[in-house]
Structure 1
Amino acid sequence: MRAHPVRRTALTCAATVTVTVLVLSLKPHHPPAGALPPATTPTPSSGTGIGGTSSGTRTVTGPAVQTRYGAVQVQLTLDGSRIVAARAVQSPGGDPRSRQINASAVPALIRETLNAQSAHLDTVSGATYTSEGYIGSLQSALDRTRA
């Protein structure tokens, strides 16, 4: 049984409007410029630190973790057991799309690191490979602080 042409047209229009509204309601991939702190700016956190009782400031670098699009490597600065700064020593950037994605993903991961004070981070939507590599290098760096 075939739908009446007017009914089919109305259904097509309704579906088109619904899809358009859904697409327009999605959040942008990257935050506006200036919305994220610089890579080495500490962010306040209610966390208690990563454990351990070491005192003094030190820098620890995790290993480079190879991803589908390139290596990711994290360096942490700790004051005692608290992460006070994080930066990506390496991140994928061999092509314009990777550079664009990582321009917003890496600062978001750094901000999450400072807030969580651990490697228990959510992946950044649209930057799964970078997120997984970052988290792997971060966890290794944290493990080195406990060794």
Structure 2
Amino acid sequence: MRRIAIAFAATVSVVVLLFSYRTSTDANPVAAGRPLGRTQPSHTAAPPTASGTAGAGTAGAGTFTGDAADTRYGPVQVQITVSGGKITDAQAVQYPQESGRDVRINSSAVPELNQEALQAQSAQIDTVSGATYTSEGYQQSLQSALDQAGR
């Protein structure tokens, strides 16, 4: 009976330890001696802006910043440059970077989403595997920027 009690106590202790384990405690991940990602915290939203003019019957030319799209892990905001009716540049100016996990996921997902936007020339872009929330927020903000550009 005593062995059963000891085994039970040991099992409970191990289960408690497993449930209390945290995978990442570093709030400021560093790679190669420098911080990763943007220097601006993700919780500060740049106001939506649009510069340039819309031509008669053509899409506007200039730089357009979409509305920030709130996601489960933080806001995502996209800025595009339009010239000659085409998207010539797309950049996520705001995206989740509050934890090491956010930085790891978005350091590869955001450049891929930027490239997808240039190739698709619309907000109909593929979702990046492993970055579903960021991808959905990116698509929403990109559509907002395209709407501002008149596309």
Which of structure 1's runs of 4+ aligned residues deviate more than 4 A?
Answer: none
Choose which of 102, 125, 137 in structure 1 pairs with 2:106: 102
Could you tell me how far apart the structure 1 residues matched to 2:111 and 2:58 are?
28
Write the mapping of 1:35-114 to structure 2, written as runs, cut at 5 A: 53-54=58-59, 57-114=61-118
Per the TM alignment, residue 54 of structure 1 is displaced from its structure 2 partner at its CA by: 4.0
Sequence identity percentage: 59
1:23-82: CA deviation from partner (whole Å, max 9, x where unpaired): xxxxxxxxxxxxxxxxxxxxxxxxxxxxx6246x40000001110001000000010210
Deviation of 1:144 after TM superposition, in Å, equals: 1.1
Instruction: List gaps (5 residues or longer) in structure 2.
Output: 1-56
Structure 1 length normalisation: TM-score?
0.62
Judge conservation of contact 2:86–2:121 (CA < 8 Å) in 1: yes
Q: Within 1, Cα distance between the matches of 2:62 and 2:144? A: 15
Give SS of 1:115's match.
Answer: helix
Aligned length: 95
CA distance in 1, matches of 2:59, 2:101: 41
Give the superposed CA RMSD: 1.4
Letter in 1 for 2:74: G
